[in-house]
A and B are shown apart, each in its own frame.
Chain A
Amino acid sequence: MSRQSNRTTDNKKMNSELFTLTYGALVTQLCKDYENGEEVNKQLDKMGYNIGVRLIEDFLARSSVGRCHDFRETADVIAKVAFKMYLGITPSVTNWSPAGDEFSLILESNPLVDFVELPDNHNTLIYSNLLCGALRGALEMVQMAVDVRFAQDTLRGDNVTEIRMKFIKRIEENLPADFAQHIRIGS
């Protein structure tokens, strides 16, 4: 019974404006702290990564998604389940590379940029770069090394916002050496 009520408070929806404005304040502060846009992008990516490695656990606890067997399945889960759950949007998955190791997420609307206008002196800033870090961090925790970057951004004058994802490799799970020894002791 108590578990049930926990679940409902868990899934409570929040107005995305609070999130959007907090994120805006964060980016503004980073722009003050670091002189060049590249460095801000790097910090956003790093913060996103740290968020992603924790967010994946929350995601797996809430959804009943199991292990993905190929990258196409991963793309579907990211677009249809994860983006929906955390940002309330469903990006479309397109531009598959022939090898199936690369695809794009097209965001029709990006809640992070709701009230944003980039001033001219920030042309290297990738405003929503936190998302890249979060995606990379989350996927790394499920044994996938993936390269994530913004290919297009409406904030910088493109027609759409496009996140490009490239599968690099599967991170193998290895038994540490001193464990192997313990298997022998145990047998």
Chain B
Amino acid sequence: MTVYNLYIFDRNGICLHYSEWNRKKQAGISKEEEFKLMYGMLFSIRSFVSKMSPLDMKDGFVSFQTSRYKLHYYETPTGIKVVMNTDLGVPNCRDVLHQIYSTVYVECIVKNPLCELGGTLQSELFSSRLDSFIRALPFFSVRAA
């Protein structure tokens, strides 16, 4: 099992943070384009899911998977969106994504008055904490193959 990459978006669709670990295939477009494409898709899925659901939903959109990867989605009531791509063996990671928000984003960004909210995050502390958090996950393992 492994983690491919992770995006954090704010409520205006700005990509606050992107990092990748075991991504073998790049999108072939600029990162900026990729973030917009990703956010546009998430936005559409969210409205699709809420319109198509035959019942009232609690969590809304949670994840989707293809033949090769799984995309996990978590959104806070303030509109911060944490998106993580993993391989198919990884179970529901809502708790993990919430922890990234509460123990890494809130602790290192929100509680740091020098970090402006609403732009690309430049805090090194944040990046390194996030990196070690992800590497410590039970389903994170770097496999060469």
Binding site for B on A (CB under 8 A): 3, 6-7, 53-54, 56-58, 60-62, 65-68, 141-143, 173, 175-176, 178-180, 182-183, 185-186
Chain B residues with CB under 8 A of A180: 40
What separation, in Å, do the CA atoms of A18 and B13 have in the docked complex? 39
- CB pair B40–A182 under 8 Å, yes or no, is yes
User: CA of A174 to CA of B87 in the docked complex: distance in angstroms?
Assistant: 32
CA distance A58 to B11 in the complex (A): 17
* Partner pick for A60 among B33, B43, B77, B107, CB 8 A cutoff: B77
The 3 closest A-B pairs by CB, nearest first: A61-B102, A183-B40, A61-B106
Contact of A3 among B43, B79, B80, B103 (CB under 8 A): B103
19 CB < 8 A contacts A-B: A7-B103, A57-B76, A57-B110, A58-B106, A58-B110, A60-B77, A60-B102, A61-B103, A142-B77, A173-B11, A173-B79, A175-B43, A176-B13, A178-B36, A179-B36, A182-B37, A182-B39, A183-B43, A183-B44
Is the beta-carbon distance between A58 and B13 smaller than 8 angstroms? no
Known: A141-B78, A176-B12. A61 touches B101 (CB 8 A): yes
Q: Is the CB of B36 within 8 A of A58?
A: no
Q: Does B1 contact A (CB under 8 A)?
A: no
Report the tally of A-B residue pairs with Cβ distances under 8 A.
Answer: 65
Main secondary structure of the interface of B (DSSP, over half): helix
Contacts of B11 in A (CB 8 A): 173
B98 nearest CB neighbor, chain A only? A61
Decide yes or no whether B111 CB sits under 8 A from chain A: yes
Complex contact B78–A57 (CB within 8 A): yes
B29-70 vs A, CB cutoff 8 Å, 1 = contact: the mask equals 000010011011101100000000000001000000000000
Residues of chain A within 8 A of B101, CB atoms compared: 61
* Cα distance, A66 to B58, chains bound together (Å): 9
Interface centre among A6, A65, A143, A173 (most CB of B within 10 A): A173
Q: Does B141 contact A (CB under 8 A)?
A: no
* Distance between Cα atoms of A60 and B117 in the complex (Å): 16
